[in-house]
Copies of this chain bind each other. A is one copy, B any other.
Amino acid sequence: MEWSQILERLQNLLDSGHHSELRGALKMLSPVDIAQFLETLNPEKLLLAFRILPKDISADVFSYMSSETKQTLIESIGDNEIRSLINDMFLDDTVDFLEELPAGVVKRVLQNTDINTRNLINQFLQYPDNSAGSIMTIEYMEVHSGMTVGQTMEEIRRVGFDKETIYTIYVIDNERHLMGTVALRKLILCQEGIVIDTIMDTAIASVTTTDDQETVASLVRKYDLLAIPVVDKENRLVGIITADDIMDVIQEENTEDFEKMAALTPSEDSYLHTSPFKLAVNRIPWLLLLSIAAIFTGMIITNFEDLLQHVDIVLTACIPMLMDTGGNCGAQVSTLIIRGLALNELQPKDILKILWKEFRVALIVGGVLSVFTFLRVMFLNQAGMAVSLVVALSLYMTVIIAKAIGCCLPLLAKKIHLDPALMASPLITTIVDAASLTIYFSIATAILKV
């Protein structure tokens, strides 16, 4: 059945008041899909449908809703309902959700949680944005060093139900230091009497609460982990981060890079829910900065006023082609380098290797483009040998310079601990513009002897 058909049937059941049938139908869907259905309803119907949900999945469904819908719902349900909802939710989901609410609503939610949960939530809210601490969960499965496989399995059966994952079990000592991990698959395939210390994996990757989520994601990806443990400064286990959250982190970090590379101030808000004013504020700073930088390009042109006003107009007509090609060449390399750095495939120390490679690439690319351009200017624009030569030669030099700038700037940024993604197309284009125009006018002056 198509999703639109499913939506329609659910809608009909809701509208016609067949509440127990609706509950049955919802039981056939995953919490993600139910959340998607609830998103389509008006506040009144939303509240009704949410109350119809089977009790054991309502917290899960709630976690998957958009922050706007969560807020609408929280504002319309009673204190008792809030209390049981927060009780049933995983702590990391609660924290995520509170981070997106206005202060007044947060206060009301916190008043309806018990003192322990409230303290935990407040502690989580203090971790820096995008740190391992801010995205970890505390619902993990831990056992003490010295326990047997049988005792561990018993413990899992006792408390496993409330854990976010039981597939990796964390072994700690009496001071809560992380000793090792055991995969559930290993436990199941082992004899009951064996002490877990003898089968646990001690070569484990872990992160600390203040590590950046980007570091966390690259470790999880490198070691193909289902979850990674988070420890505090004294190496005591305080939480874990699971693979499903890491996937969201990876997409978030990629979005941030895409935005930075397009001269945008990164923002986590969804496009359709951001006001035009906020969008404009995210865009203006870089545009202003780049337009100030373009003053220099203007100055170069002004300096060569005589040249431009007394020689063939073709010389002026080729400026956009030269600038665009230079910008594109620079953007191609800088993108490859920025991406290579982000995926840890390149290092600043590779700079000479990269420059040498790019020089050879530029010789080929520049050669092809300038032969093509020479023929075009000569025969299509009928500009004469000298002018065609000026344009073609300038293009060749521009390609070489653009490739060099495009690979050096991101590597340099990385070296001085700036984000390489800032050294992308917009900035590179502006810098290459100035370089290419200077080359162009110098070659023109030399060859055309104006």
Contacts and interface: CB of A to CB of B under 8 A. Distances in A.
Interface string A276-303: 1101100110111011001101110110
A377 B325 CA distance: 27
A86 to B, nearest CB: 20
Contact of A226 (B243, B317, B369): B243
Contact of A251 (B202, B221, B302, B425): B221
How many copies of this chain does the complex contain?
2
Contacts of A248: 221
Among A298, A319, A372, max chain B CB count under 10 A is at A298
Contacts of A368: 280, 284, 288
Interface in A367-384: 368-369, 372-373, 376, 380-381
Interface in A390-435: 425-426, 429-430, 433
B321 A291 contact: yes
A381 B296 CA distance: 12
A126 interface: no
Given A276-B364, A280-B364, A317 B298 contact: yes
Nearest to A217: B247
Contacts of A32: 222-224
Interface in A239-293: 243-244, 246-248, 250-251, 254-255, 257-259, 261-264, 270-272, 276-277, 279-280, 283-284, 286-288, 290-291
Contacts of A73: none
A301 B317 contact: yes
B298 A318 contact: yes
B316 A380 contact: no
B313 A297 contact: no
Among A157, A339, A437, max chain B CB count under 10 A is at A339
Contacts of A220: 247
Contacts of A271: 336-337, 340, 345-346, 354
Contacts of A161: 189
Contacts of A354: 271-272
Interface residues of A, number: 115
Interface string A218-245: 0011111110000000000000000110
Contacts of A335: 258-259, 261-262, 264
Interface in A196-231: 202-203, 205, 220-226
A320 interface: yes
A150 interface: no
Determine the main DSSP class of A at the interface with B. helix
A321 B295 contact: yes
A332 B263 contact: yes
A276 B28 CA distance: 55
A385 interface: no
Contacts of A270: 340, 345
B258 A339 contact: yes
A449 interface: no
30 contacts: A28-B203, A30-B223, A160-B188, A161-B189, A184-B188, A243-B243, A250-B251, A251-B254, A254-B254, A255-B339, A255-B343, A258-B335, A262-B331, A271-B340, A271-B346, A276-B360, A284-B365, A287-B325, A287-B329, A291-B372, A294-B321, A295-B376, A298-B317, A302-B314, A305-B313, A308-B313, A316-B316, A324-B426, A324-B429, A327-B327
Given A167-B167, A263-B331, A294-B321, 4 more contacts: A157-B189, A276-B361, A284-B364, A288-B369
The 7 closest A-B pairs by CB, nearest first: A262-B335, A294-B321, A276-B360, A224-B244, A298-B317, A280-B364, A297-B320
Interface of A: 28-30, 32-33, 153, 156-157, 160-161, 165-167, 184-185, 188-189, 202-203, 205, 220-226, 243-244, 246-248, 250-251, 254-255, 257-259, 261-264, 270-272, 276-277, 279-280, 283-284, 286-288, 290-291, 294-295, 297-299, 301-302, 305, 308-309, 313-314, 316-321, 323-325, 327-329, 331-332, 334-340, 343, 345-346, 350, 353-354, 357-358, 360-361, 364-365, 368-369, 372-373, 376, 380-381, 425-426, 429-430, 433, 437
